[in-house]
Amino acid sequence: MTTFLVQVLVLVSLAVLVGIWALRFPYPTFWLRPFLPARKRWPEREIRDWLGNGHFHPGFLTFFNRDPEREPPSDLGLVAPADGLVTSAEVRDGIRYLVIALSFWDMHVQRSPAEGKIVAIEPSGDEYMDGEGRNFSFLREKHCPVQTRVVIDAPSHGRLAVRLITSLAARRIEVWPDKGDTLARGQRLGRILLGSTVVLEIPERFPICVERGQRVWAGETLVTLGAAT
Amino acid sequence: MMSFFWSNGHLGWAFFGVLVYSVLCLLAGDIVWRLTPAPFRRILAVMALVWAAGAIALVALW
């Protein structure tokens, strides 16, 4: 009889596991999450579901809000302002716009690309955020609807700007230093909460050393060579 | 055949083994599906073969 009870106990336990698995499918179960890489642990479809219902997995929020220490390289040159993928480096009117796209799994704290002084913080598009922080400005004609442009006067590279741009799914932008503050190279600049894009504006005369499709890390990856050509 | 399902007041060990093995195969297949880039159908086919081989081995051992 004891053997039978143990067998039943084992089978019931397994049935519960299969039940949980079936209810969660296609998303990973709680016992599997710790062993999966971030993109598999919190699949994009599941995150988009959370954006819809507002019930985020606490583990994902902890992961999303991570803010690791970064050590800028000793080489001269600008460091990437954000973690993400370089999607464009177009030049217009003497300014190179280095666009870094952030995914849900990228670290979302931005860093100063160079030592310098903040000369302007220019938010725009915030009036299109609703009370829940949801952004409806995509319905307007603006191409980059909600953004904050931080202009930095860097002795080494001249006038730079870092644009923190949100997406449809974004909540809000935080910029921590104030106008007039002096920033160290790689210092924390702010955070896009569930945002998507960071654009670094660099004078064209500084050659960049990253290319489209390359992954960069905020405060660590060099994006320009040190000297102007 | 009865002893396969039931013997000495408990589930037959081979039957019990096949049930447990089936669940473990299902959960292992899920892990493989999540961690490998292989197509779903291929994973399904391989897992079905693994399950069948294991189930046959359990029954054969019994």
**Interfacial residues of A (vs B; Cβ cutoff 8 Å):** 1, 3-4, 7, 10-11, 14-15, 17-18, 21, 25, 28, 32, 35-36, 40
Which chain B residues contact residue A11 at CB under 8 A? 16, 19-20
Size of interface A-B (CB pairs under 8 A): 38
CA distance A74 to A77: 9
Which chain B residues contact residue A23 at CB under 8 A? none
Q: How far is A40 from chain B (nearest CA, A)?
A: 7
Nearest to B9 among A4, A14, A35 (CB): A4
pLDDT of residue B1: 60
Say if residue A121's pLDDT is above 70: yes
pLDDT of residue A27: 93
Asked if A4 and B19 come within 8 Å (Cβ–Cβ), the reply is no
pLDDT digits (tens, 9 = 90+) for A149-161: 999 999 989 999 9
Greater confidence (A30 vs A129) lies with A30
pLDDT of residue A131: 43
CB A222 within 8 A of CB A209: yes
Greater confidence (A87 vs A145) lies with A87
Asked if B31 and A32 come within 8 Å (Cβ–Cβ), the reply is yes
Mean of the per-residue pLDDT values for chain A?
86
Greater confidence (A85 vs A227) lies with A85
pLDDT confidence of A11, banded at 50, 70, 90? very high
Q: Which of A200-204, A221-225, B5-9, B23-27 has the lowest mean pLDDT?
A: B5-9
What ipTM, to 2 d.p.?
0.86
pTM of the shown model: 0.77
Which chain A residues contact residue B35 at CB under 8 A? 36, 40
Greater confidence (A171 vs A9) lies with A9
Say if residue A136's pLDDT is above 80: no
The residue of chain A nearest to residue B9, with distances taken between CA atoms, is: A1
Q: Give the mean model confidence (pLDDT) for residues A14-28.
A: 94
Q: How far is B54 from chain A (nearest CA, A)?
A: 18
Say if residue A138's pLDDT is above 60: no
**Domain range annotation of chain A:** 2-64, 84-216
Ranges of residues in chain B whose predicted pLDDT is under 50: none
Say if residue A141's pLDDT is above 70: no
CA distance B17 to B19: 5
pLDDT digits (tens, 9 = 90+) for A38-75: 999 999 999 988 888 888 899 999 999 999 999 999 88
Catalytic status, residue A167: no
pLDDT of residue A166: 77
Say if residue A144's pLDDT is above 50: no
CA distance A175 to A181: 12
Question: Which residues are within 8 A (CB) of A155 and not within 5 positions of it... i.e. 6 or more apart?
Answer: A115, A116
The residue of chain A nearest to residue B15, with distances taken between CA atoms, is: A7
Give the mutation candidate from B18, B21, B27, B43 for the A interface (greatest A CB count, under 10 A).
B27
pLDDT confidence of A193, banded at 50, 70, 90? confident
pLDDT of residue A127: 53
Question: Which residues are within 8 A (CB) of A158 and not within 5 positions of it... i.e. 6 or more apart?
Answer: A203
Which CATH number does A84-216 carry?
Answer: 2.70.70
pLDDT digits (tens, 9 = 90+) for A90-107: 898 899 999 999 999 999
pLDDT of residue A92: 87
CA distance B14 to A37: 37
CB A126 within 8 A of CB A106: no
